[in-house]
Amino acid sequence: MKDFDVIVIGAGITGAGVFRDLALHGVSCLLLDKGDFTASTSQSSSKMLHGGIRYLENFDFELVQEALHEKNLWLKLLPHLAKEVPFVLPNYKESKYPLFMLKIGLLAYDFLSGFQNSPHKILGKNETIKQRPLLSTKNLRGSGLYYDALMDDAKITLEVIYDALKEQNAFAMNYHEVTNVVEEGSKHIVQTKNLIKNTEDTFIAKKIIYCLGPYTDKFLKNTYPNNWTPQLLPSKGSHIWVSKEDFNLSDPCVINHKDGRVIFFIPHETQILIGTTEEPLNEEINDIKISQKEITYLLSIIKEYYPKVNIKQHQIESAYSGVRPLIKSNLTNDQGKTARTHRTYQISNSVQAIAGGKYTTFRVMAQESVGIVCEQLGVSYSKSKTIKKLRQKSCVIPFERKQIDSSTIKQILSNEMPKTLEDLVHRRIGVNSLSQWKSIYPENDFNNFFLENIELINQYFPLKKEEIINYFKD
C-alpha cells in the first residue's frame, strides 16, 4: 500500500505517539524514519518520566502538572517499562535555596500531581546520610525526598509503535529517509531512500505530520523555504554509564549544582546513569558524541558529591549524547531556563510539524495535531482513546531480565523489525557495552552467541561475521 491519509515523518517518541493516536482513530497512516525507530533523541534522554521539579523555578506550573499527570498515567499503563523511585535532592549551605524553600517546592510538586505522587519527605542531615551514605556530608543541611519514575526510553517508543501496528490501517518503516516532499493538488508525494537496500520509493498522503525533533529546522527550511523560520534552540546533553561494581549507589540522587546544572545519579539494571551536561550544539546532530570537556565535567561532579567513590575515565562503560529540540524563547537564551513546552505548527492546511516538549508528555503532544487532522478527515476524535495499555510487550524487558537464546532472537526478528546488529543489541536486547553484556549474560560469550545465530539473523537482515567481532570495538 502506498496511499495513506497521513504520513508521519520521524519515529522518535513524538512521531510514535502521533502514529499511535492516528492508528487508534482508524486513520490510515505510515510512519517513516531515516534510522532505526527511536535511535536519535528518544534513546538519549535521562530516562525519567517526570514532572520536572526544576521547571517550578520558572513557574511552569502548567507543564509540570501535565507532565506529572502523564508520568502517573504511564506508571499504571506500562509498569514493566517505568518504575517509581525515590529521588533524594540534597541541600547544602551553598545551595541556591534554603531547606524550607525545598519543602515548599516539593509540596507544590505533589499538589500539582493531584497527590498521585507518593508523598515527599524532608530529611534532616543524619537521615540523609543514612539514606544516601555515599553522599558528601560537607556543609550538608538535609535533603528532600520525592518520587519520580525511571523508564526505558527506547523500549517505550518501540512499544508505542508496536501497539499502533496492531491496527490494520497502520504501517511503519525504519531506515527510510525522506528525501523530498512535494505537494501536488490535494496530495503530497513523499520520496524516500531505503538506506539498507539503497533503493528509492514514493508514498502518497493527504496530510503530513513532521516529528523531526532536533532535525526539524534543517529539514523544514530546505523543504518549505518560504514557510519556515528556524524555531529551535538546540541543546546538547550527555550521559555516562558506570558499573554498579564501581559505584555502589542503590537509590537515585539529584544534584542542583551551584553552576545551575541539574545532575542525576540513577541506578539502573547493572549500571549507574550520570548526567546530564547542557551545551550549545556545535556539531552535526548525526555525529554527536560526548566531548572530553563533558566527561571531565561529569567526573568532577562525581568527585565533588561522592568523594568516597573514585571513578576514573577508563571506568566509564559507555556514554551517549542527545540534542534537546527546545523551542526558542523570547524571554531567555539560557538553555537550562528555556521551557520544555511543545508547539504545533500548521505549515499549510495539510502539513503540520510538532517540535519541542518532553518525552514524558508525548501522548498529550500528539493530541492537538491529531485532533486537527481527524477533524479535517471527518473522523471523530477522542483524547481518551490513547489511555489504554499497549498491546505488545518487548521480547526482552530489561527490568525483568531473563536469559536469552536462539528462540528469543527469533522472536525479536519476527516481531520487532531490527535491521542491523545495533538495532538488535542496543535497542531490542538493551545492552550498551561489552562489560554490561558480560554482567547480564555471563553464560553467553557475545561473539559466540551471535556467530551461532548468524544464519538465523541472515534470514531477516544481512550480517557479516566481522560486524559481530568488531561490534564493541567501534
The correct pick among 6, 7, 8, 9 for binding ligand FAD (CB under 6 A) is: 9
CA atoms within 13 A on the CB side of 388: 12
Listed in sequence order, the residues at least 6 apart from 357 whose beta carbon sits closer than 8 Å to its beta carbon are: 14, 325, 340, 341, 342, 365
211 part of the interface to ligand FAD, by CB under 6 A = yes
The correct pick among 8, 14, 144, 412 for binding ligand FAD (CB under 6 A) is: 14
34 part of the interface to ligand FAD, by CB under 6 A = yes
324 part of the interface to ligand FAD, by CB under 6 A = yes
Task: Kindly tell me the burial class for residue 402, based on how many C-beta atoms sit within 10 Å of its own C-beta (0-12, 13-18, 19 or more).
Answer: exposed
For the chain, the helix, strand and coil percentages under 3-state DSSP, each to the nearest 5: 35, 25, 40
If DSSP codes are grouped into helix, strand and coil, which group holds residue 390?
coil
32 part of the interface to ligand FAD, by CB under 6 A = yes
Which range in 35-43, 126-134, 161-169, 442-450 contacts ligand FAD by CB under 6 A?
35-43
Which range in 211-219, 300-308, 407-415, 443-451 contacts ligand FAD by CB under 6 A?
211-219
The correct pick among 234, 357, 418, 430 for binding ligand FAD (CB under 6 A) is: 357
The contact pattern for ligand FAD, residues 43-82, with x = CB under 6 A and - = no contact, is -xxxxx-x--------------------------------
432 part of the interface to ligand FAD, by CB under 6 A = no
Q: Shortest approach of ligand FAD to residue 181 CB, angstroms?
A: 9
Number of residues engaging ligand FAD in binding (CB under 6 A): 39
Q: Which three cell numbers stand for residue 239?
A: 550521559
214 part of the interface to ligand FAD, by CB under 6 A = yes
- Closest Cα partner for 326 from 445, 228, 232? 232
273 part of the interface to ligand FAD, by CB under 6 A = no
**334 neighbors 328 (Cβ within 8 angstroms):** no
Using the minimum distance from each CB to ligand FAD, give the nearer residue, 65 or 447: 65
Q: Which three cell numbers stand for residue 427?
A: 535497542
Task: Kindly tell me the burial class for residue 32, based on how many C-beta atoms sit within 10 Å of its own C-beta (0-12, 13-18, 19 or more).
Answer: buried
> How distant, in Å, are the alpha carbons of 83, 152, 194, 247, 462 from that of 197?
39, 30, 6, 43, 10
The H or E element that residue 220 is part of is helix 216-223
117 part of the interface to ligand FAD, by CB under 6 A = no
Using the minimum distance from each CB to ligand FAD, give the nearer residue, 87 or 92: 87
Q: Residues in the site for ligand FAD, rule: CB under 6 A?
A: 9-15, 32-35, 39-42, 44-48, 50, 177-178, 211-215, 219, 237, 276, 322-325, 357-360
